[in-house]
Amino acid sequence: MPKGPSQNKSSNQGVDAPGSRGTTRRILSDMQREETKRAGMQRRPGRSSYFETGPKDLLLELGTEEIPAAELDRSLAALPKLVTDKLSEARLAHGDVTVWGTPRRLAVRVADVAERQPDLEEELTGPPERVAFADGVPTKAAEKFAEKVGVAVSDLVLVETPKGRYVTAGRVVKGDDADAVLPELLVSVIKALAFRKSMRWAERPERFVRPLRWLLCLLGDGVLELEYAGVRAADTTRGHRFEAPDPVRVASPADYEAVLAGAAVMPDPAARRALIQEQIAALEVEHDAKIIPDDRLLDEVTNLVEKPTAVCGVFDESYLAVPREVIVSAMRGHQRYFAMVRDHGRLANCFITVLGTQVRDLDVAVRGNQRVLAARLADARFFWDEDLKVGLSEGAKKLDKVVFQAKLGTVAEKVARISDLGAALAPIFGADADTVRTAAGICKADLVTHMVGEFPDLQGVMGHHYALAAGEDAVVADAIVEHYLPKGALDALPAGDVGATLSVADRLDTLVGCLGAGLKPKGGGDPYGLRRAALGTLRILLEREIGVSLRELVGEAAGLHSRVTPDVDEAVAFLLERLRGLLADTATAEIVGAVMSAGGDDPVDLARRVAAVYAFGRTPEYGALATTFRRMNILKQADTDVGEVNPDHFQGDAERALYDALDKARDRVNDLVAERRYEDALTVLAGLRPPVDTFFDDVKVMDDDATLRANRLALLAAVDRLYRRVADFKMIAS
């Protein structure tokens, strides 16, 4: 008989799940791979340079055309994890990871990268014994597995597992040198960098955020043989595009920052940001003014320059007659300038800009920036004067020429719907219906002004200014700007009642109409901002504690659409799904799910129930409630409709006692729920535990008698219904 496999019945520790064809790996000890150690200077076969033994620093720099500021931030955030994950997969130990970035480069340095991969001992799991052997004779399956592993059939081992005995075999995989592993690893890192928009160039198939122009790649003092997108790695980088454009040699990773500093480049974004802040602070003192704090602009400017120089310019004071927001928008949005203020926040006629290139005469650069800004502000003043001549009321008449959405009609039609819906909602927001209609009639009129055409981010803001200039009441003017709030998840909410009313009316009209037109968001896309519309509506209702049925709100909005027939159920479900996400920030997902499963579509009421269950869960009484519902899971065995309880079918005191306790608790719980005193209601419900426990101890719920069984299940279902006035606790206690 052919020699069979050796057997090991003692343990299956460290072996993959049976049948997985997986691999269990273990790093061999230093003693086991002593023969692989090398000493002194060694030449790698096929390599053009010598490498010192022992851990070495790794440096990779990707030189590119100018990278967009936002993409630079995302890449720098992703790069450390990408590199460390790839090194871990490659079994290369390493030290700290440092990243740098400028508009023209992404760079990463990894300290103390191991000289080579450690050897691995692998234990592979093969087919089960019944497949691998027939009457003790190896089958083709066993032979193929042994061939795959590289061992003789006689070296196969049978290992006992919970699912039976499986064939296993071990082998040793020799580790490779780091300089052999790293080129492919680093190419995979480059390919894994994700950008919102990437590009191809020349005839290359590769994609990257911007065309690659050079690669610097060092392991210790040697160049790694790396190539990507037709660019071969070298030991040179490039300095400032204008001040030091020629290649500069980097002898080792430790020299990187110093070499670039000598070539007019600050590779560290944090250092550039700190320098810009220092320069701004000095200019603030010199010009007796303060910049308007703007961290986003500071971050953006930091990523636009390789070596910053901040300067201060001025503009004609006459431009200050234009609304402040226009001047600030012209500076920030178009020129990346920092606006400045004096005298308790009054806008000053000066600004700070950050140059990316050293110039011999800073005054020339300042005058150039002043001329550019003056042209922008002259246009803004012209737009302001022209828009004032027309006025919002006349401008609103042009909205019938502006399409809101092809299936939903013009902006004028939308304004009419907002006006009617806003007037209907006004009482619950404490707003005056006539004032709401007045504000609604002109709330979109600034969309056709010259100013908003030039500065789209000022929609609503300019409507506010034009309304005040036309003599409109301040409440109306405030509502125009506030009906666009909130613009984001963390943005401020409308402060005024009229503004809040219009904000909800506008969002509900958009949400209901777009869903009715079949424009529901898919995946990550949401071109009409329906998720934001839903969240904004819910945040306003919750913040103001306006208890109202979402179905009623949606129904009111749906009834005003004539071009489409909205599905009320779909819109309510969409809102409730967004509400689930909001409430998940205040309690566990299980609690939110239990509350929403119990029913209801009033966001404020649902939020209060979630808060009550979350708070009650931290009290001693909660244990009684949870225990009750763990026993109530028997209801899952019941038919969907168990009917009503019939006391005439009770067979013992336990059934009667639970029925009486439930009847007594019902009125009290209903009263407390009506008053939204949910924690008190939960205390009463927790008091049902003793009769519930006695019921389960003394009564056979699933009795053979169908009538008794149905009646007992009906009694438990009645208990469940009372609990569901607050939440479906079966979802938590199951």
pLDDT in tens, 320-373: 999 999 999 999 988 999 999 998 889 999 999 999 988 889 999 999 999 999
| pLDDT at 26 > cutoff 70 | no
CATH assignment at residue 191: 3.30.70.260
| pLDDT at 46 > cutoff 90 | no
Q: Is residue 257 part of a domain?
A: yes
Residue 628's pLDDT is 77
652-662 pLDDT per residue, tens = 899 999 999 99
Domain boundary among 339, 367, 390: 390
| pLDDT at 11 > cutoff 90 | no
Determine the length of the chain: 734
Rounded mean pLDDT of 402-424? 97
* 105 and 132 housed in the same domain: no
Coil, strand, or helix at residue 572?
helix
Q: Is residue 46 part of a domain?
A: no
* 245 and 293 housed in the same domain: no
Q: Is 575 exposed, middle or buried (0-12, 13-18, 19+ CB in 10 A)?
A: buried
How many other CB atoms are there within 10 angstroms of residue 491's CB atom?
12
Q: What is the rounded CA–CA span in Å between residue 571 and residue 517?
A: 12
* 370 and 460 housed in the same domain: no
CB 121 within 8 A of CB 62: no
Q: Which two tokens stand for residue 727?
A: 């939440």
Its sign, for the CA torsion 602, 607, 612, 613, is positive
Q: Is residue 588 part of a domain?
A: no
Q: Any long-range contacts for 701-706 (C-beta under 8 Å, 24+ apart)?
A: 701/634, 702/634, 702/637
Q: Is residue 48 part of a domain?
A: no
Average pLDDT, the chain: 89
116-158 pLDDT per residue, tens = 989 888 788 889 988 888 888 899 998 999 888 888 888 888 8
Residue 174's pLDDT is 84
Instruction: Return the C-alpha torsion angle 445, 450, 452, 456, nearest 10.
Output: 130
Its sign, for the CA torsion 74, 75, 76, 82, is positive
SS3 assignment for 436-503: HHHHHHHCCHHHHCHHHHHCHHHCCHHHHHHHHHCCCCHHHHHHHHHCCCCCCCCCCCCCCHHHHHHH
Residue 733's pLDDT is 64
Residue 4's pLDDT is 46
Q: Report which of 15, 27, 12 is spatially closest to residue 173, judged by C-alpha positions.
A: 27
* 577 and 433 housed in the same domain: yes
Rounded mean pLDDT of 522-535? 91
**Alpha carbon 151 to its chain's center:** 49
* 249 and 332 housed in the same domain: no
Q: What is the rounded CA–CA span in Å between residue 89 and residue 667?
A: 64
Q: Is 22 exposed, middle or buried (0-12, 13-18, 19+ CB in 10 A)?
A: middle
More confident residue, 93 or 171: 93
| pLDDT at 2 > cutoff 70 | no
- Record the pTM: 0.78
Residue 432's pLDDT is 97
Q: Is residue 695 part of a domain?
A: yes
Q: Is residue 646 part of a domain?
A: yes
By residue range, what is the domain housing residue 26? 6-30+118-173
Rounded mean pLDDT of 262-273? 97
Residue 500's pLDDT is 98
* 25 and 76 housed in the same domain: no
Rounded mean pLDDT of 573-601? 94
* 547 and 418 housed in the same domain: yes
Q: Is residue 43 part of a domain?
A: no
Spatial neighbors of 569 by CB under 8 A, at least 6 apart, are none
* 242 and 311 housed in the same domain: no
pLDDT bucket at 639, cuts 50 / 70 / 90: low
183-242 pLDDT per residue, tens = 999 999 999 999 999 999 998 999 999 999 999 999 999 999 999 999 999 999 999 999
SS3 assignment for 385-450: HHHHHHCHHHHHHHHHHCEEECCCEEHHHHHHHHHHHHHHHHHHHCCCHHHHHHHHHHCCHHHHCH
Q: Report which of 693, 691, 715 is spatially closest to residue 703, judged by C-alpha positions.
A: 715
Q: Which two tokens stand for residue 577?
A: 């799904």
* 334 and 450 housed in the same domain: no
Coil, strand, or helix at residue 570?
helix
Rounded mean pLDDT of 701-727? 90
* 636 and 709 housed in the same domain: yes
Residue 734's pLDDT is 55
Q: Report which of 62, 28, 351 is spatially closest to residue 228, judged by C-alpha positions.
A: 62
Coil, strand, or helix at residue 196?
coil
Domain boundary among 173, 192, 213: 173
* 110 and 221 housed in the same domain: yes
Q: What is the rounded CA–CA span in Å between residue 666 and residue 672?
A: 10
| pLDDT at 392 > cutoff 90 | yes
167-177 pLDDT per residue, tens = 888 887 788 89
- Tokens 């220092």 belong to residue: 278
* 90 and 108 housed in the same domain: yes
Its sign, for the CA torsion 541, 542, 546, 552, is positive
Which H/E stretch holds residue 689? helix 689-698
Q: What is the rounded CA–CA span in Å between residue 127 and residue 156?
A: 11
Which H/E stretch holds residue 271? helix 269-287
Residue 5's pLDDT is 46
Q: Which two tokens stand for residue 308?
A: 């910053």
CB 117 within 8 A of CB 111: no
Domains identified in the chain, total number = 5
Q: What phi and psi values does residue 235 have, to the nearest 5 degrees?
A: -105, 30
Q: What is the rounded CA–CA span in Å between residue 423 and residue 434?
A: 7
Domain boundary among 329, 355, 390: 390
State the pairing for strand pair 338-342/346-355: antiparallel
Q: Is residue 567 part of a domain?
A: yes
Residue 123's pLDDT is 83
Q: Which two tokens stand for residue 472?
A: 């409109």
Q: For 3-17, 145-159, 257-271, 638-652, which range has the lowest pLDDT when averaged over its residues?
A: 3-17
